[in-house]
Amino acid sequence: MPKRTLTFSQFLFAEEHKHPEASGEFTSVLIDIALAAKLINREVTRAGLVDILGFTGDENVHGEKVQKLDMFAHEVFYQILGSTGELAVLASEEDEDIVPVPEGARVGKYVVNFDPLDGSSNINANVNIGTIFSILPRITRKGPGTLEDCLQAGRRQLAAGYVMYGSSTMLVYTTGDGVHGFTFEPSIGEFLLSHRNIQTPPRGRIYSVNEGNYVHWHEGLKRYVDWLKRDDPSTGRPYSARYVGSLVADFHRNLLYGGVYLYPADCKNPNGKLRVLYEAAPLAFIAEEAGGAASDGIRRIMEIAPGSLHQRTPLIIGSPMDVKDAEEFISGRHVEVTSERRTPSQVRVGP
């Protein structure tokens, strides 16, 4: 007889029972997110067979061409979450402004920030893509949710997670009590617990970065990546380069195996490229709960209080020792850099 496993809903209810004061509203939001993910997964898996591949002809707030699946995923999240009565407001990576709950709907006490379909430029090539979400408590006391409710630092998150669509579809989430992964079983239409209490290794052997931008990087980052490639078995180098170009896919692999993902600031994007609310903060929460770390190169991502919905940030995320190395190279404090400064240049003497 096969070993019994828990569905996502069963797992959430078991966690809820640990808190007698719980009303069930928070659990309901997570269950609704899982439902939205199932609907998105259905369309992703048949995208090549129906008219949902390609562009809509519009551009989003970031000046990027909007994919049809992007808009489908955005609408699914809005339709399912917006009218449940549990949320005060939503914010989407695809929308310039906050997304209010529908007129006439009950206004709740939670906020959801989400990227409906990360990595959408890979859709037509059938590469892994994902949904990223973050749940926060509302700040305002009553009435419709406001911009202030959405613009909160990552450390105030109540939950964060992602869904990765690919050869198998996985939902990974945290509520601040460990990181757990659920694999979608299409025959019964349920996410089943497959990865309980995920822990990322303290140090990995993988680095993930778009080296096509090397020429635009600042000197500290160049030195760090060059150092990772250097042969030194005593420190586990050289590292292996693994870069899908889909944030969720690259992060997920490194979460399980260890390593570091970098989307740095550079001469083209001095403020970085990824969004704090929709990408960096949710993944930082997951990374830290799994024993990892997340930084913008100087400070902890979870401490950033964004000033706008689409504020960008550099991101270094993964195994804690790898993130620390990257920070020290960027700041010039790494022992490899300081030892070079102390070593005098060799000067040839004599005829």
Q: How many CA atoms lie within 13 Å of 65's alpha carbon, on the beta-carbon side? A: 10
236 labeled binding residue: no
Report the 10 Å Cβ neighbour count for 193: 15
Give me the amino acid identity at 2. P
118 labeled binding residue: yes
115 labeled binding residue: yes
263 labeled binding residue: yes
Tokens of 162: 């992602």
51 labeled binding residue: no
210 labeled binding residue: yes
**Cis before residue 238, ω within 30 degrees of 0?**
yes
Helix (H, G, I), strand (E, B) or coil at 88: strand
273 labeled binding residue: yes
User: How would DSSP label each residue in 289-349?
Assistant: HTT-EEESSSSBGGG---SSTT-EE-EEEESHHHHHHHHHHHHT-SHHHHHHHHSPPP---
262 labeled binding residue: yes
78 labeled binding residue: no
Residues in the chain: 351
Antiparallel, parallel or unpaired: β 87-92 and 110-118 = parallel
121 labeled binding residue: yes
Binding-site residues for Mg(2+), please? 93, 115, 117-118, 279
Binding region for substrate: 118-121, 210, 243, 261-263, 273
Annotated binding-site positions: 93, 115, 117-121, 210, 243, 261-263, 273, 279
